[in-house]
Structure 1
């Protein structure tokens, strides 16, 4: 089984980076092949430039990294996203990943004006860190649950999606509980 981890945090000394390493280790211990897209380390440009838009409608890529990323997505049986919550949403680099990589004709198509996912990915796990509790998200329309899991990932064909969230990154008890949830999820 091949797992693709999409990671979006710029600092390799962060708790998110520790989580990335832990998740990779847990997956490898299960005998899974793990491939990591480290958006910041790769120097991914999240900006949609005129050259990108010129070929966008044809489902083509101007950005070579975006093109390589979609091939990794297509090859994955499982997806894992690891990122911090900044201003109640994902970092801009991850939003740019959706915009530039998840193109019509590549990861979804339209049938009778309805989007249908093309990925054969069975499962996705969204792992987030922040300094706010999940209940706060419910007051904001649950952007991770409704937009990322129920919108974006469902549109590209991922039906089974879990969300694991660390509400207080700077509290050791919360981090330990969060890491325990991650271990249980990937057991």
Structure 2
């Protein structure tokens, strides 16, 4: 299966890089075709300019710097996001990537002002998230409503076929976890990717 991993963390020596490396290597070992987009390593510009926003809904060709990202997005049948959850959501560089790359005509269609949005990524079979969070699960879920999870597993899933599967793997209380707990989480990520029906 064609898997696209999207990684977003600005510090390469942090635990999040180990999460991404574990997931990618496990997928390759299982024989999947894998591509990796590393938002921070590529110095991706997450900001949408004034002019880009003005023509966003006009069907104009996307900016040239987005073409490799759009091609990878359309190539893959599974997308797995690996990032550190900050302020209950995605890092700014990843949110900016969603703003700029998940655009009309690429991930959804608007045929007329009076018609509702329709999905365009109809070949997608799975969307998933591998993340770590500073908050305990109950606080993140019950007080804040898990906004980062909603953005990916509901918002982005809308752009795919109705049968698209989703998954969410999260290590909560990240700042107080022991090395043993972090190794267990890496094992969990490895096992999930290895047995997941991708």
Q: Secondary structure at the match of 1:41?
A: coil
The 5-angstrom pairing of residues 71-110 of structure 1 reads 71-110=71-110
Give the equivalent residue in structure 2 for 1:113. 115
Cα pair distance change 1:25/1:70, threshold 3 Å: same
Please tell me whether the aligned partners of residues 46 and 97 of structure 1 are also in contact (alpha carbons under 8 angstroms). Answer: yes
2:55 matches 1:52: no
Give the equivalent residue in structure 2 for 1:179. 186
2:146 matches 1:142: yes
The 5-angstrom pairing of residues 152-163 of structure 1 reads 153-157=156-160, 159-163=164-168
CA distance, structure 2, for counterparts of residue 62 and residue 108 of structure 1: 14
Instruction: In structure 1, list runs of 5 or more residues that go unmatched.
Output: none
Give the equivalent residue in structure 1 for 2:63. 63
Instruction: In structure 2, list runs of 5 or more residues that go unmatched.
Output: none
CA distance, structure 1, for counterparts of residue 144 and residue 61 of structure 2: 33
> What is the number of equivalent residue pairs in this alignment?
186
Question: Does 107-116 or 19-28 show the bigger shift?
Answer: 107-116
Question: Does 107-116 or 97-106 show the bigger shift?
Answer: 107-116
> CA-atom RMSD, angstroms?
1.8
CA distance, structure 1, for counterparts of residue 70 and residue 132 of structure 2: 25
Q: Secondary structure at the match of 2:41?
A: helix
TM superposition score normalised by structure 2:
0.86
CA distance, structure 1, for counterparts of residue 5 and residue 21 of structure 2: 11
TM superposition score normalised by structure 1:
0.91
Give the equivalent residue in structure 1 for 2:125. 122
